[in-house]
């Protein structure tokens, strides 16, 4: 099978897998969100792959992994009616299990399957250590960046209340416009990812999302982040004080440096 033939086949299998979930009465809205998210993540992954000029076999694995990464969201939501892994199941593990069970990667080489399933399994780990397999490392990082770049958009829409609250953003947090937690902002100032456990206020969520800059792996991803203005939009929705101004200056300088390829 040619790479594009295989990609078409996997996309068709993904559609066939998700169709019954959307057709069942009740939760079509939640499932539709995940389908749309997946297709946007695929689009972003394609853009990164192209900008970074990845070789064909890695490009294919990136595209397939983007398509497969949230397959587990469907059985997860049907069984537990939540997208919160901590109170249900690790959805990345579910994605691997269901991709295998449904033979979604049939026609792919053993090596491509290894890259795809590895990247799918690693996509929601809090941090990713440098992997011994350079190919797997690249594919996992493309999927993680693509996923994050789409979640930025989802978060911003949620914060701006353009959309009604939806289950994709499970915000069990206090809505106090002037408040944020020092632990979260200190982590980002140290260029470390924030911890979900430290989140108390909506602003903590915004600050943590800003900190994802430090978890982006490719210059193409930073460029997209910059072009879409996500960080500035998030800062605009935060209180204005000295500490947040300092954070803004740090983050701006770091992003500029990443864009230069330093």
Binding site for Fe ion (CB under 5 A): 70, 124
**C-beta of residue 45 within 8 angstroms of C-beta of residue 143:** yes
Would you say 18 or 124 has its CB closer to Fe ion? 124
- Tokens 């040619």 correspond to 2
Cβ of residue 93: shortest distance to Fe ion, in angstroms? 11
**C-beta of residue 66 within 8 angstroms of C-beta of residue 45:** yes
Cβ of residue 34: shortest distance to Fe ion, in angstroms? 9
Would you say 10 or 238 has its CB closer to Fe ion? 10
Cβ of residue 115: shortest distance to Fe ion, in angstroms? 17
- Tokens 């982590």 correspond to 187
Strand partners, 174: 201
Would you say 121 or 235 has its CB closer to Fe ion? 121
Cα 144 to Cα 101, 206, 257: the distances in Å are 23, 19, 21
Cβ of residue 69: shortest distance to Fe ion, in angstroms? 5
Task: List all residues 6 or more positions away from 131 whose beta carbon is below 8 Å from its beta carbon.
Answer: 122, 137, 140
Residue nearest to Fe ion (CB): 70
Would you say 95 or 138 has its CB closer to Fe ion? 95
């Amino acid at each position: 099978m040619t790479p594009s033939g295989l990609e078409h086949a996997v996309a068709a299998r993904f559609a066939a897998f998700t169709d019954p979930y959307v057709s069942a009465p009740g939760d079509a809205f939640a499932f539709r969100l995940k389908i749309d998210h997946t297709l946007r993540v695929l689009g972003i992954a394609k853009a990164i792959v192209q900008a970074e000029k990845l070789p064909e076999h890695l490009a294919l694995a990136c595209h397939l992994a983007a398509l497969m990464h949230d397959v587990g969201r469907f059985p997860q939501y049907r069984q537990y009616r939540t997208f919160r892994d901590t109170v249900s199941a690790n959805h990345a593990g579910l994605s691997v299990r269901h991709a295998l069970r449904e033979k979604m990667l049939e026609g792919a080489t053993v090596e491509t399957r290894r890259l795809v399933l590895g990247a799918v399994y690693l996509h929601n780990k809090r941090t990713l250590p440098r992997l011994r397999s350079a190919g797997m490392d690249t594919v996992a990082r493309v999927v993680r960046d693509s996923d994050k770049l789409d979640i930025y958009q989802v978060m911003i829409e949620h914060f701006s209340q353009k959309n009604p609250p939806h289950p994709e953003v499970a915000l069990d947090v206090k809505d106090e416009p002037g408040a944020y937690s020092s632990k979260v902002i200190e982590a980002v100032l140290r260029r470390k990812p924030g911890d979900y456990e430290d989140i108390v206020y909506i602003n903590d969520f915004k600050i943590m999302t800003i900190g994802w800059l430090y978890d982006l792996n490719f210059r193409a991803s930073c460029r997209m982040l910059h072009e879409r203005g996500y960080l500035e939009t998030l800062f605009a929705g935060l209180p204005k004080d000295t500490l947040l101004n300092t954070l803004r200056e740090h983050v701006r300088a770091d992003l500029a440096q990443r864009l230069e390829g330093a």
